[in-house]
């Protein structure tokens, strides 16, 4: 049985879908590669979930979901083979916020074969905070359109879900 609190995780990640077909190999726009958005450049590539905490408690590997994030330009795809789903969204970064934020206004869910899946939670906006730590990406969410204030659960009603991703070698 998978960790039941992952519904909180699934709601924000369900929002990684945008109208149109999945984008699996779109190039990064040249203006983004020249430093206008260095964080977007750092995100490019694939990231595998390697650690997860919910309200400060570690989620054991055998109970957490297995997902891969794929960043191509400003599109992010969440691949969840266990649920046979792909979630795609156009993301926006706010690097002026402290901590920086990653957000999307809407998303679309399909099966791994591209068949649309109706998921009302996937149609809601989401805001997360992020940081890079060595060759890892740390995302935190409190679920929905309010970003956590930090990565440590302090002053966040309902707590946060903290996810650490490691870059997948090419």
86-123 confidence digits (pLDDT tens): 999 999 999 999 999 999 888 889 999 999 998 777 66
DSSP symbol at 40: H
Whether 18 has a pLDDT exceeding 50, the answer reads no
Per-residue pLDDT at 126:
86
Average pLDDT, the chain: 79
DSSP symbol at 159: -
Q: How far is Cα 63 from Cα 57, in angstroms, rounded to an integer?
A: 13
Cβ contacts of 73 within 8 Å, gap of 6 or more: 23, 26, 27, 28, 29, 32, 40, 44
Q: How far is Cα 63 from Cα 2, in angstroms, rounded to an integer?
A: 5
Closest by alpha carbon to 42, among 23, 62, 58, 28?
28
Which run of H or E residues covers position 14? helix 6-14
Among 16-30, 68-82, 151-165, name the one with the lowest average pLDDT.
16-30
Fold (topology level) of 6-167: Lipocalin (2.40.128)
Q: How far is Cα 35 from Cα 101, in angstroms, rounded to an integer?
A: 18
Structure tokens at 155: 């002053």
Q: How far is Cα 35 from Cα 32, in angstroms, rounded to an integer?
A: 6
User: 61 exposed, middle or buried (CB, 10 Å; 0-12, 13-18, 19+)?
Assistant: exposed
Report domain extents, the chain: 6-167
Compute the radius of gyration of the chain from its Cα atoms: 15
Q: What is the mean pLDDT of residues 67-75?
A: 96
Q: How far is Cα 57 from Cα 104, in angstroms, rounded to an integer?
A: 27
The pTM for the full model equals 0.77
Q: Is residue 22 very low, low, confident or very high in pLDDT (cuts 50, 70, 90)?
A: very low
């Amino acid at each position: 049985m998978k960790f039941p609190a992952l519904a909180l995780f699934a709601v924000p990640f369900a929002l990684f879908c945008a109208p149109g077909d999945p984008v699996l190999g779109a190039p990064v726009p040249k203006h983004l590669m020249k430093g206008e958005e260095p964080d977007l450049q750092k995100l490019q590539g694939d990231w595998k979930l390697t650690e997860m905490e919910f309200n400060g408690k570690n989620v054991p590997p055998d109970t957490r979901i297995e997902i891969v994030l794929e960043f191509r330009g400003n599109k992010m795809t969440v691949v969840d083979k266990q649920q046979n789903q792909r979630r795609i969204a156009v993301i926006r970064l706010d690097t002026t916020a402290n901590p920086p934020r990653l957000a999307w206004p809407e998303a679309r869910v399909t099966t791994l074969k591209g068949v649309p899946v109706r998921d009302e939670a996937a149609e809601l906006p989401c805001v997360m905070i992020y940081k890079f730590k060595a060759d890892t990406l740390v995302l935190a969410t409190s679920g929905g359109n309010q970003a956590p204030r930090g990565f440590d659960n302090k002053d966040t009603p309902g707590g946060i879900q903290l996810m650490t991703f490691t870059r997948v070698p090419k």
